[in-house]
Each structure stands twice: as structure tokens, then as C-alpha cells.
Amino acid sequence: MTESQTTPEPARPPHTDAPTPPLPPLPAEQAAALGGPAPAAHTAPHTPAVLDEGTFTQIREPRNEGRLPLDGDWHQISPKYVISQTVQNAIFVAIVVVAMLVVGLVLEQHWVWWPGGVVLAITIVTQIVLPRQARALGYMLREDDIVFRKGILWQRVVAVPYGRMQLVDITHGPMDRAFGIAKLKMVTAAATTGVEIPGLSQPAAEALRDTLIQVAETRRTGL
């Protein structure tokens, strides 16, 4: 009678507490929704020094400025804008006066004095308030948008997000070119948020356009 033979079991490796591999990080949106760390805030774009060269030195602050707190520095337009608009208003007044004299005296149409007088009065009042309006024009480069303000009695403050900009254009007429100024226009998807900044010097307009284009591309790509 033979003894039964048993096959020995293979040796098992000793048990060790191996560390669990780390999970991949969540996207910024999911991390913020779960209470995790929020994505880093954007920083304000670099402000070229040329934006403040040859401009007004003190902006006219609205009396109700405290209702809309803004964090940043206002940049103003060139005083040449007032000179350019004054010359254009003078040319317009001269044309209206000549037309009134020809129609009223030569053609003996005396009704022309009333509408002509109204047009002249409106132009003169516009010219009187022009310097104050020019000093109230300003724009501010913030972290996520550019803020533009204008007006004295009827004030308007518009904030245009950088990521919504579709076109940044520079225009200047013959009189603007004569005084070395230009108008910068920002076009967005919504027509009501389009902004025009007049009275910028040519170097300031080009520097502001390049800055806005660069920041808009960064905001759209999410960098």
C-alpha cells in the first residue's frame, strides 16, 4: 500500500499595499462646478504708452460714477479732435449761410431763413459744448473687456468683451488725415454693442487696434 502524493501549491507573493495611481485632473469647468480650484483669472492687457501721448490730461467724470464701479485707468482722445470738428463746423456754417443768401436774396424765397436759422443755431450750440464732450470721451482696458464712455447730460457707457470682437477697423476722413487723427471702430456679433472711438492719434489707433486683436484672439482660443 502506497502513500498518496499531493502536489504542492505554488508560492504566493507577499501582500503589499501598492499605491493607487493618481487620477487624471478634471477640466477647469468641472473642477469649478465641483468646488475645486477655479481657473486662473485673466490679466489686463498691456497698455501701450502711446495711448496717453498728446491726449487730454483729465477726464470729465460723471456725477453718478459711483453707480458703476470700474477698475482701471481712463484713456482719453487727442485735443486735435476738437480742432478738426471746429473746422468742419465752420465749413458747414459757411455753406449754409451761402445757400441761405442765394435762396433768400437772389431767388427771393424768404421761407429759407427759418430752417436755415434753426440749422445754424443747432450747429453753434454743438460747437459750444464740443470741448466738454471731447473731454468726457474715454476708454478703459480691463481684464475681460474694453469700456467706452461718452456724453455729459446723456451719458453712455458700453463694455465690449474681447472674445466677442469680430472686426477692429481704423477710418479717417480728409480732415482727420490733415490733423493726424483717426477713428477706431469695434464690431461685434450684436450690432448694438458696436463702439467707435474718435479722435485717436494715428499711432495710438494702430497700437490700440493691435492690442485688441491680440487679446481677442487669446480670449477666443481660451489661452
- Identify whether 195 is part of a domain: yes
Select the highest-mean-pLDDT range: 13-17, 154-158, 193-197.
Answer: 154-158
Give mean pLDDT, residues 7-35.
Answer: 51
- Provide the residue type at 11 as one letter: A
Query: Residue 101's pLDDT band (boundaries 50, 70, 90)?
Result: very high
pLDDT at 141 over 80: yes
pLDDT at 30 over 60: no
Domain that holds residue 102: 74-221
- Identify whether 183 is part of a domain: yes
Write out the E strands in the chain: 138-141, 145-150, 156-161, 165-171, 181-188, 195-201
Q: Is the dihedral of CA 194, 67, 143, 198 positive or negative?
A: positive
pLDDT tens string 194-214: 689 999 999 999 999 999 999
Number of separate domains in the chain: 1
CATH number, position 188: 2.30.29
The closest alpha carbon to 137, from 75, 212, 190, belongs to: 75
- Identify whether 48 is part of a domain: no
- Identify whether 26 is part of a domain: no
pLDDT of residue 219: 78
pLDDT of residue 84: 95
Select the highest-mean-pLDDT range: 91-100, 105-114, 186-195.
Answer: 91-100
